[in-house]
Amino acid sequence: MKVSVETPCRLHLTLIDLNGGLGRIDGGVGLALERPRVVVEASSSRRLMVDAGERSGELKALCGRLAEEYALDGRFSIKVSEQIPPHSGLGSTTQLYLATAKAIAELSGLKVGLPELAYQTCRGGTSGVGVAAFERGGFIVDSGHSFGVGKDKKSFLPSSYCRSKAPPVACRLNFPAWNVLLCIPKGRGLHGVDELNYFKSHFPAKEREAERICRIILMKLVPAVAEEDIDGFDESIKLLNKARGFEFPQKTREIVEEVNQMGGKGTSMTSFGPAVFTFADSQETLKRLQHRLKRRGVVVATKAANHGVVVKKTKQGLKR
């Protein structure tokens, strides 16, 4: 049997509460996108084989851990035919790891739910948007993790350094069919030890920052999505950019400023970047932005994905 798993990518608009004064931290807001995406194909094999380009080594290690955890023979052939650019702010690791784990589970007949797969792959330890995007797509607001002694989390750490369960989803809406444009410049966003050090040096955040972000999300951003109000959405993102206390890298800031001047709506950097997203309220604006941004990096025109993972199964012979 051959299993194919297709997942959307995700935009991460903001973390919500990095103060923790109410006994919870993190929380995330974002949405799933049709492109770029992850496509993983898995089949039985006489030995473990992984074809995922520069990420083959880490995926091979992941397959080994899953095989050990669930007492599997580990003889899989894993081929990643489409990937999300790594460390670009689009959730590449979460989607790749979950897609691979899902493919192995389906191939092996494991009855393992998504929360368990997310925990075993160490995803969802900060924001839950990526895990929820994998499951159902759409626009997502999650409720973060309990915080303190004996709770889900005891310190401010990114997902890669924290094995916590994925947080509960507080709100999930279908996202409007607006044109979305991504600009992915060269370079990689904050990740690894640099991301860890950023969390250690910048958090806990001030209480008033978390309060301001919560108000913008509940009373401005969520209604804009629910009512398909692109101007209200644009205002929400601009308010969040001011409230977060996070300075964009110069390269990213220049792209955001340029896009805003050209009529892009809801423009910002996803997660720690460097990818920039914007929404266009007309095909004319979309084409104009596409043409201008080509000199800045890889440009992808897409739409929101109001669905999650797609799994397909076909019969196939054993690979050697």
Over the stretch 201-250, which tens digit does the pLDDT of each residue have? Answer: 777 889 999 999 999 999 999 999 999 999 999 999 999 999 987 778 88
Q: How do residues 110-151 score in pLDDT, each as one tens digit?
A: 999 999 999 999 999 899 999 999 999 999 999 999 999 999
pLDDT at 249: 83
The whole-number average pLDDT for the span 50-70 is: 96
Q: How would you write the chain as a 3-class SS string? A: CEEEEEEEEEEEEEEEECCCCCCEEEEEEEEEEEEEEEEEEEEEECCCEEECHHHHHHHHHHHHHHHHHCCCCCCEEEEEEECCCCCCCCCHHHHHHHHHHHHHHHHHCCCCCHHHHHHHCCCCCCCCHHHHHHHCCCEEEECCEEECCCCCECCCCCHHHCCCCCCCEEEEECCCCCEEEEEECCCCCCCHHHHHHHHHHHCCCCHHHHHHHHHHHHHHHHHHHHCCCHHHHHHHHHHHHHHCCCCCCHHHHHHHHHHHHCCCEEEEECCCCCCEEEEECCHHHHHHHHHHHCCCCEEEEECECCCCCEEEEECCCCEC
Given pLDDT bands bounded at 50, 70 and 90, which one contains residue 189? low
Q: Is the pLDDT of residue 156 over 80?
A: yes
Q: What's the pTM?
A: 0.93
pLDDT over 70 for what percent of the chain?
A: 96
Domains of the chain: 2-314 (3.30.230.120)
